[in-house]
Amino acid sequence: MLIIGLTGENCAGKSTVADYLAKKGFYVLSLSDIIREELKAENKSLSRGNLIIKGNGMREKFGPGILGKKTVAKIETVKDRNYTVDSIRNPAEVEELKKLENFFLIYVTAPPKVRFDRIRKRDREEDPKTFEAFQEIEKLEMENAEKTKQNLKATFALADKKIENNAGLPMLYEAVDRTLSDFSEEFKIERPTWDAYFMNIAKMVATRSNCIKRKVAAVIVRDKQIISTGYNGTPRGTRNCNEGGCPRCNNFTESGKSLEECFCSHGEENAIVQSAYNGVSTKGTTIYTTFSPCLLCTKMIINSGIVEVVYNEKYPIAESALKLLKEAGVKVRRYSVG
């Protein structure tokens, strides 16, 4: 039996994770359901405000861990299944749930503006209408001196794993899969992650390079689909570098010197140009590259609308390029494969 607890800020994606786990056979329980049952018995509306007031009242009357204790009792009646427990908002609830064997707490989070945009899209009457009001409500829920009230900050601190949910559902589901495999042999992942998959493809593409100095390649991806690849070498219709086509490379010029005399196009450059050649937009895509981009490729990446750069190894003269990417708001991260 594996029990996954979920905590996180409003609209961070806890329910989405719970739904995903349900598809994997997890039985979903929510601490909020216990509060809803109490409100229904009192003929009160199930508004967010009423849920908070009632939850705090139950903790004050029966102890701060009461919702966790009631949920543990439910789980112990049927032990031959996996469970997901949602809506954990008080550290005492975590303490009760941790009495169960194989209980792990996941903290699901996302940047405030991302979460506020999600709130606006769901458009519930009771939701805050401005970002300032949204922040004010979060501040009240985040930390409380009274043990019987919600204390999200202290609850998050008890999490076994943290999942960032700001890169779309495929990335969220992949993060959940990785986390489950960390918790249990039953969910061990044998296939490569998307990062490993695309970076290894980029390394294979690099073997097509005709440059005699350094073999570099890039793969441009949208929604888990490759839209373009490129490797470094001389332009189409000219002699290959390894056939003497680039004087700079064939003279074995020192790395970083006389780049303006190099006839070879870079891997990232070729991937972007090939995409344009075939009439495919690169706006909003991710580029996987075997080396971090040079300054020239960086400018092309920014202007072509690519939003994320994932690189395997750091290019020796890449500092100014990495700074420029950061300034332009392009996400950059390193993912190394052997």
Q: Which residues are catalytic?
A: 268
Contact assessment for residue 158 and residue 91, using Cβ atoms and an 8 Å cutoff? yes
Contact assessment for residue 54 and residue 35, using Cβ atoms and an 8 Å cutoff? yes
DSSP conformational letter for 162: E
| Residue partners of 168: CB distance under 8 A and separation at least 6 | none
Residue type, 243: E
Contact assessment for residue 260 and residue 284, using Cβ atoms and an 8 Å cutoff? no
Q: Which of 147, 180, 162 is nearest to 9 (CA)?
A: 162
- Residue 255 in 3-state DSSP? coil
Rounded to 5 degrees, φ, ψ at 113 are -70, -35
Longest CA span, the chain: 85
Pairwise CA distance, residues 108 & 130, whole Å: 23
Scored b (16 or more CB within 10 A) or e, 173-194 reads: ebbbbebbeebeeebeeeeeeb
